[in-house]
Copies of this chain bind each other. A is one copy, B any other.
């Protein structure tokens, strides 16, 4: 069925079944779909043959490490569409395919029921008896064999008035079908792939911080030990991934100063992304932060706090990175004998040398970069936030992620590619577990509905897992620029409830850092990228308590731990946004006020069918943020939200489900 042109004469001319239109399918099977462990894969396919015979279709699946396929019978949905599903119970790579054949026994039974001519019945009974006897010969137990043989004999010996009654035996037919020959079976030519990750791939709560700003003492360079002391604080807010910008030696040559000044002083700590200096590169630790062992202790302590340390992988070098001298062929050289620094004319980034992936020595470069991941995996890291993957070749990422995941299927990769949609999608297809999104720039009701409907419902959800950030060290979003607590609360709440994966860059976020460097850029004033900051975590206006509440709600409600169930509901106010997520009996409805200055009110129209709520019965809306409980009736209900008090209701819906027959399939 897929993009391989058969030489029709080589294959058997007797194979009559066609299998096409399989879903899910990414780029004709070129890329895998993604799931997390325990999830269900629902597969559909168009299966049909010439003529009017009855088909059997099997969905077959296996873990890549298992030799044996499991299978489940597909059922027909009508219009030649078949469906079946299976659960992926282990992490790693899985395979699935569809096999279908003309089922002679079922075709016989289907026709036999409709026959009326006595002579015809007796002849057809003999044909059926032959097929049943064939199945009997393949039956594994003596009893099954005997039952089928007896049935075949009865059919052969029956008189015309008895034979229809004898033939009509669903149990025996099912038994015979089970062992019937799969003559002429056709199998999809390509095994389709599934990358099955651990649950954190789908549901994770990220906190980014600069370790060098982690000291409680102002003016002191923070250390891994200081970060350890912050673990209670971070886990108290409900975060489970603590992501650190690069922790390696920082280049001294052309080191940048505060606010990205072209020439720094010797006092300046430099940008952590200007990786590498005399004392080491991507596999070394900046001495001021501590030792590799200190880092490993941090990883372990974090684990005790149910936090995973995520590292930043930025494949670029400061001019004094050891690679430059050891592997000059991995860099581009200019006609004046200098190395080509990063640039986007007229902008220059002279403290950064990009790697030249078009080098003749690309293969050794790939191996070395893979070894960087392996080094940190050895140190206990399993989550990598990859810096600007869209400026390195796609083929490299496809290869290196596959290499790492083959040995460490629990490794997760977040693509920091804030770029064009097709580039972001390609990176997701080729293996990145999660992707940064455009959420940071989606603010209006219309923008949010359009973008999150795409993320939750478009077929690209099979491979693109969003991770939504209100801010990053590179992006002081317009929504937060010179803004107050209501804007910060709103953006956090939207990220946390619209997306199962989200993160913030703190403590800048919870401490309401809102001053831009200038009028045009998205850079922070006094950005931590270029200097050490001291943060007063005890400030009374800190959003930490609010963040803790929201994250606790996420952890307690399965509906907020995945993305695909998201739907939007109508509100007759363009500043009020209403959406729901539902997993099994956990149903969450959020109504958010996008206006961070004024109270807004309006009538929400809930799609009760989609929420599986009986339309005639009142239901309780329990606001998990405020603790308030409301009694709602029917589809339309009134809401008023004051941004000074709260950005939103996060309702847990408690109501009577619709009658069972009307229940829609939840995947």
Query: Which of B18, B79, B130, B423 is close to A80, meaning CB atoms less than 8 Å apart?
Result: B423
- Known A127-B335, A390-B51; judge A16-B357 contact (CB<8 A): yes
Q: Does A584 contact B (CB under 8 A)?
A: no
- Is B114 within 8 A of A50, CB to CB? no
Q: Which of A358-381 contact B (CB under 8 A)?
A: 358-359, 362-363, 366
> Which of A46, A130, A358, A363 is the most central at the interface, judged by chain B CB atoms within 10 Å of its CB?
A358
Whole-angstrom CA separation of A25 from B79 in the bound complex = 23
**Interchain nearest-CB distance for A31 vs B (Å):** 9
What is the 8 Å Cβ interface bit string for chain A, positions 544-580, against chain B (1 contact, 0 not)?
A: 0000000000000000000000000000000000000
Contact A30 B4 (CB under 8 A): yes
A186's nearest neighbour on chain B, judged by CB, is B395
Determine the chain B residues whose CB is within 8 A of the CB of A49 once the complex forms: 393
Chain B residue numbers with a CB within 8 Å of A343 are 111
| Cβ-neighbour of A394 out of B16, B27, B183, B358 (below 8 A) | B16
Residue numbers of A with Cβ under 8 A of B are 1-5, 8-9, 11-16, 18, 20-21, 27-30, 46, 48-52, 79-80, 111-112, 114-117, 120, 123, 126-127, 130, 183-184, 190, 334-336, 338, 343-346, 348, 357-359, 362-363, 366, 390-396, 398-399, 402, 420-423, 426
Q: A27-B28, A51-B390 are in contact. List 18 more A-B contacts (CB 8 A).
A: A3-B29, A4-B4, A4-B30, A5-B30, A8-B395, A9-B363, A9-B399, A12-B362, A13-B357, A13-B362, A15-B393, A48-B420, A79-B421, A80-B420, A80-B422, A80-B423, A116-B345, A123-B334
Residue contact A402 to B48, C-beta cutoff 8 Å: no
Cβ contacts under 8 Å, A366 to chain B: 13
- In the bound complex, CA of A537 to CA of B112 (Å): 48
**Cβ B395 vs Cβ A20 within 8 A:** no
Q: Is the CB of B3 within 8 A of A362?
A: no
> Which residue of the partner chain B has the closest CB to A366?
B13
CA gap between A80 and B390 in the complex, in Å:
14
Residues of B within 8 A of A48 (CB): 420, 422-423, 426
Contact present for A393 and B2 (CB under 8 Å): no
**Is B8 a contact partner of A399 (Cβ separation < 8 A)?**
yes
A to B CB contacts below 8 Å, 29 in the list: A1-B30, A3-B28, A8-B395, A12-B362, A13-B362, A14-B358, A14-B362, A16-B357, A16-B393, A16-B395, A20-B422, A20-B426, A46-B422, A48-B422, A48-B426, A50-B391, A50-B393, A50-B394, A51-B390, A51-B391, A52-B344, A79-B421, A112-B345, A114-B346, A115-B346, A116-B346, A117-B346, A120-B348, A130-B335
Q: Which residue of B is nearest A14, CB measured?
A: B358
